[in-house]
Amino acid sequence: MTTIFASSSSSSVCLSRSSSSATSKLCLRRSKKWIPLSEGGRRRTKTLRVWREINEHVTAVVDASFREEEDEEEDEEETEGLGGVVSDAAALEMYLRLESGKQRECVETFVSEEAREKTLSATSVVDVEERRGDEKNGNETITKSMKLREAERAADILRTHGLVFLKSVVPEETCDEILADLNAICDECKETYGDALRRTDVLLGVGDDNGDDSGDGKINGVKKALEFACKEEGGNIRNILSFVEDATEDAVLVELSVLATEKGADRQVLHPDVAYDAPHETLYSVFIALQDVTQDMGPTLFVLNSHDKQTHDQLPKTKWTEKEFDVLRTKRAVEALLKKGDAVLYNARAFHQGGENTSGRRALLTLTFLKPPVPPEPTRRNKECLWSIREDVFRRQITAKDLATGGE
């Protein structure tokens, strides 16, 4: 039996294979060391270095075929397996690519843009214009009432469908500020890995706006973005969560990062971000577009109403059969085509997949909230994953209310 590691969506996949069957399981996503596995009575520490740690807060995901000098030296020491490490990686990538592609093909019913605006968005165009008029005229009472109605409506949509689309969650100029610093980090990774770079993950600090101290490269504007996203006059996320019983305004920020995919990034397999039977409350995550997200960038696909126990029981982690594909054919889906500063807020139990990026860099500011108590690590379908957040930020236990009020 040969055991290998490779990348699959936001997680890493550990695939165990034998000559007669193939089984797979998801394992540790982010760690300074991969968990070694037993093979033939010994502990195997050989890994496919798909995740490359740039520094404490920056990780790059590269194509499994990319080889550095140290990788080649390791390959010389480890020649066993089904055709060697690289061919195993290629086989796994092909397996995941075929499965994710078939999943995408089986999603036959998409919500139209018009229907999305009517049924999945917290605000219609009329609401937005009316709200801007109230704010311009200084009518704070009406604006506050309207924002609370918007929040309540958003919570209802989120509860029913598993996600809701939000407009103007972060100002465009703040998105530009964050993106400029992010691009510098990603471009540096690109210099090292070239076209093999598939994704860059940057864990963010929440310092002052003169530098959030995100490792060797600093990302400015994060604090401004978070506060605007959560406050009533901005993205209204604090109010929305306050209407969600398993979130509330006291939900703690447990994940904070920027995910940037590059041209050539594969489509993910469908997955939820949390196990349905997790011993903690479900997670609520926000994807905020730092630039317009177009079709060729591979927008995230969400399966509507898939955050329920029945769907989790019906859809396995991997090794789908026609039975599971038939279930998917009965579902409706929507793609997160977003304008700069817009967002999608979703229940992490909802099944989703990032699309294939055939264009250029797609950067999303990602936040995740959890109603206390907060465990040291989440319970996901892919076991032993860690929170995607800097340790110093995690220890602060910042709530949605804190962000909306500036900690007052």
CA-CA-CA-CA dihedral for 263, 264, 268, 273, to nearest 10: -40
Q: For residue 373, is the peptide bond before it cis, meaning its omega torsion is within 30 degrees of 0?
A: yes
Q: Is pLDDT above 90 for 137? A: no
Residue 141 scores a pLDDT above 80: no
Specify the higher pLDDT residue, 39 or 215: 215
Local confidence band at 143 (pLDDT 50, 70, 90 cut-offs): confident
**Cα–Cα nearest to 67, from 87, 82, 97:** 87
Q: What is the reported pLDDT for 354?
A: 97
- Tally helices (H) and strands (E) across the chain: 12, 17
Identify which has the larger pLDDT, 236 or 216: 236
Q: 3-class DSSP state for residue 145?
A: helix
- DSSP state, 281? P
Residues 6+ positions from 319 with CB-CB distance below 8 Å: 22, 23, 24
**147, 134 Cβ separation under 8 angstroms:** no
Torsional sign, CA 370, 372, 377, 379: negative
Cβ partners under 8 Å of residue 377, min gap 6: 384, 385, 386, 387
Strands, sheet with 362-370, edge to edge from the N-terminal-most edge strand: 51-55, 58-62, 197-203, 252-261, 362-370, 283-289, 343-347, 163-166
More confident residue, 116 or 218: 116
Confidence band of 55 (pLDDT split at 50, 70, 90): very high
Q: Do strands 109-110 and 58-62 pair parallel, antiparallel, or not at all (unpaired)?
A: unpaired
Domain residue spans of the chain: 2-106, 109-405
Among 185-199, 335-349, 371-385, the range scoring the smallest mean pLDDT is: 371-385
Instruction: Extract the tokens encoding 395.
Output: 């220890």
**Which of 83-97, 324-338, 347-361, 385-399 shows the lowest per-residue confidence on average (mean pLDDT)?**
83-97
Contact 121, 236 (CB under 8 A): no
Paired sense of beta strands 109-110 and 332-335, if any: parallel
Percentage above 70 pLDDT, the chain = 74
- Token duo for residue 208: 């002052």
Token pair of 254, please? 């447990």
Q: Which of 322, 310, 306 is nearest to 102 (CA)?
A: 322
Q: What is the Cα 285 distance to its own chain's centre?
A: 8
Q: Is 264 exposed, middle or buried (0-12, 13-18, 19+ CB in 10 A)?
A: middle
Q: CA separation (Å) from 131 to 148, 149, 178, 330?
A: 12, 12, 27, 38
Distance CA 363, CA 178 (A): 10
More confident position, 43 or 108: 108
How much is the pLDDT for 90?
66
SS3 80: coil
pLDDT (average), residues 10-36: 34
Average pLDDT score, the chain: 82
Return d(Cα 58, Cα 193) in angstroms, integer.
14
Distance separating alpha carbons of residues 337 and 292, to the nearest angstrom: 8
Compute the average pLDDT of residues 373-384.
87
Q: pTM above 0.75?
A: yes
* Domain 109-405 listed as CATH 2.40.30.170: no
Q: Tell me if 339 sits within 8 A of 292, measured CB to CB.
A: yes
Residue type, 120: L
- Say whether pLDDT at 104 is over 60: yes
81 sits in which H/E element: none
Q: What is the pLDDT of residue 218?
A: 78
Tokens 């490792």 belong to residue: 215
Give me the pLDDT at residue 145, please: 86
